[in-house]
Chains A and B, each alone.
Chain A
Amino acid sequence: MRVQDLTVARAGIAVLEGVSFALAPGAALVLRGPNGIGKTTLLRTLAGLQPALAGKVEVGPEAVAYAAHADGIKTVLSVRENLAFWASAYGGGDVDSALAAMNLQALADRRAANLSAGQKRRLGLARLLVTGRPIWVMDEPTVSLDTASVALFAGILRGHLATGGSALIATHIDLGLEAEVLDLTPYKARAPQMGGRIGAFDEAFE
């Protein structure tokens, strides 16, 4: 994945501009920056949910698996049913090994409504394993995980990277990975009077 001079916008207003980085197979990149800087906006743009204002994202077709803040867990379905749906949506990943990897076998037949917040998060992350996609784009993946689960997840990430996958993680926690860190603070979009980008509508008035 290669990102060049990317400008992303929230509600029509640029929040980050000129973001460039490259993510090689086997590498991980950690995004840092204060709240509201636009980490989620950047990740949603990379996941293809919203268009970029400017710049280029080069990424292979069907390469990205996106894990948002919300896990998209259906509370009336069991843990296994939740995961099996995503597995078949992505063309049939291995549900059992994903459950095992996230230490969820014991809960497999429990309704997701009866899971704790951390258990739900683990189920949400197990979804990444069944997608079979090489690039994981994750928004605060460790929220509500306990230390043991964070370590478990870091182990899975290491395994993913070792098999040629890559990961883009917005997080404040040190996962103990050999990862580059990209601080987004310098890319904060400048106000137009400081030479920053202006929206298409305003451009006409300048």
Chain B
Amino acid sequence: MSIWEYANPKRFMQTSGVLLPWVTGLALLCLVVGLIWGFFFTPDADKFGSTVKIIYLHVPAAMMAISAWMMMLVTSLIWLIRRHHVSALSAKAAAPVGLTFTVIGLVTGAIWGEPMWGTWWAWDPRLTSFLILALFYLGYLALWEAVEDKDTAADLTSVLCIVGSVFAFLSRYAVLFWNQGLHQGASLSMDKTEHVSDVYWLPLVVCIAGFVLLFVTLVLLRTRTEIRARRLSALLARERLA
């Protein structure tokens, strides 16, 4: 039994159908526990006050924004090499979810940035990289929408995803270089996880698990929808032939 068995759409539908309720339940549980714990049962920080608690949305969303793109890169490669439709469709399914996480990361960042730094937006390397990531997501989604033939769209978006990954990576370092060139070493962002103590750390881990599970839930759900849509158009085409 190999993992490639799930490349069979029928097999994927069966297994994901069984898994889906459990993953959904677990995601909800983790999110509810993590967020309530984080928001209401952790002390206010000395310097930051209660604003620090937005990390329970901000950090997991930001992590998943990048992870979603990584997943799309892997599934795009699998599609190009092994031609498994489920792989291409799961990349398509993950993109809007990844974009949403990116936007959540940006918006919560702005909401947090206002009280902390006194500004909604700064061209800090990390913020700028995320904005660029959002643009890559937009382009990828637009290409899927624009191409009519589904296999052609899968091929083109996969190539774009691979090339885009390289350039997104380059942009990340270019932006780092660009901003340090402006204000010497003064970075507005900080490595959050290293700064927070255990009181905040545990609920954060639960929230991160919740976001991962939420991502899995949404991608499974959307992939199932994509597979059904493909099946439908295949059946319609078959009807026209008969």
A residues apposed to B, CB below 8 Å:
11-13, 189-194, 196, 198-202, 204-205
Contacts and interface: CB of A to CB of B under 8 A. Distances in A.
B10 A192 contact: no
B242 A191 contact: yes
11 contacts: A12-B150, A12-B151, A13-B237, A191-B241, A192-B238, A199-B234, A200-B85, A201-B9, A201-B230, A201-B234, A204-B9
Nearest to A11: B149
Interface in B139-170: 149-151
Contact of A205 (B83, B231, B237): B231
Interface string B1-17: 00000001111000000
Interface string B205-242: 00000000000000000000000001100100110011
A205 B83 CA distance: 16
Given A12-B150, A200-B83, 4 more contacts: A202-B234, A204-B11, A205-B9, A205-B231
Contacts of A12: 149-151, 237
The dominant DSSP class at the A interface is loop
Contacts of A205: 9-10, 231
Contacts of A11: 149
A194 B238 CA distance: 11
Nearest to A190: B241
A193 B149 contact: no
Nearest to A206: B10
The dominant DSSP class at the B interface is helix
B4 to A, nearest CB: 12
B8 A193 contact: no
A56 to B, nearest CB: 20
B150 A194 contact: no
Contacts of A202: 231, 234, 238
5 tightest Cβ-Cβ pairs between the two chains A and B? A191-B242, A191-B241, A204-B8, A204-B9, A202-B234
Nearest to B89: A201
A11 B10 CA distance: 22
A193 B241 CA distance: 10
A197 to B, nearest CB: 11
B9 A193 contact: no
Nearest to B9: A204
A188 to B, nearest CB: 9
A199 B11 CA distance: 17
Task: Select the residue from A13, A189, A201 with max chain B CB neighbours within 10 A.
Answer: A201
Contacts of B241: 13, 189-192, 196
A204 B83 CA distance: 13
Contacts of A192: 238, 241
Contacts of B83: 200
Given A204-B8, A204-B9, A205-B231, A191 B85 contact: no
Interface in B56-85: 83, 85
A191 B149 contact: no
A200 B85 CA distance: 9
Contacts of B237: 12-13
A191 B237 CA distance: 9
A193 B10 contact: no
Contacts of B242: 191, 193-194
Contacts of B234: 199, 201-202
B69 to A, nearest CB: 25
A201 B238 contact: no
Interface string B33-51: 0000000000000000000
A194 B242 CA distance: 8
